[in-house]
């Protein structure tokens, strides 16, 4: 599991690659948490390279969303493949998160 981070127009782009499961979730949480702890509060998480997400990964996203909300921030997700989207849909996360098909659509939502 790798987490890549870029900044574009004051928006943090997080790229998830691999699998988020019980073993990798703490590291993902730590990496994204560092960005938020720096006072950054506009975040796009791109799932294009993500192959699998477990309930532990979903908990990481809830934690990130809560931290960003507390910082008056915004979080959008994009590029979920069919399997990942199905996990979000079944778990009710499609009603919680702003999910976009492409990174361009997600960036537009954040004002980029």
pLDDT tens-digit series, residues 20-41:
999 999 999 999 999 999 999 9
- The whole-angstrom separation of Cα 85 and Cα 94 is 8
pLDDT tens-digit series, residues 57-111:
999 999 999 999 999 999 999 999 999 999 999 999 999 999 999 999 999 999 9
What is the CATH number for 85? 3.30.750.24
112: confidence class by pLDDT, cuts 50, 70, 90: confident
End-to-end CA, the chain: 28
Which of 1, 9, 12 has the alpha carbon at shortest distance from 68? 12
Residues 6 or more apart in contact with residue 38 via CB below 8 angstroms: none
* Domain range for 76: 2-109
Number of domains in the chain: 1
What are the backbone dihedrals phi and psi of residue 100, each rounded to the nearest 5 degrees, phi first?
A: -125, 155
């Amino acid at each position: 599991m790798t987490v890549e981070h870029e900044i574009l127009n004051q928006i943090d782009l997080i790229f998830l690659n691999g699998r988020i499961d019980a073993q990798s979730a703490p590291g993902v949480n730590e990496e994204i948490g560092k960005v938020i702890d720096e006072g950054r509060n506009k975040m796009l998480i791109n799932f294009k390279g993500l192959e699998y997400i477990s309930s532990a990964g979903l908990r990481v996203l809830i934690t990130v969303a809560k931290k960003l909300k507390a910082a008056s921030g915004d979080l959008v997700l994009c590029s979920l493949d069919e399997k990942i989207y199905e996990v979000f849909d079944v778990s009710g996360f499609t009603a919680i998160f702003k999910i976009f098909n492409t990174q361009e659509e997600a960036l537009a939502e954040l004002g980029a």
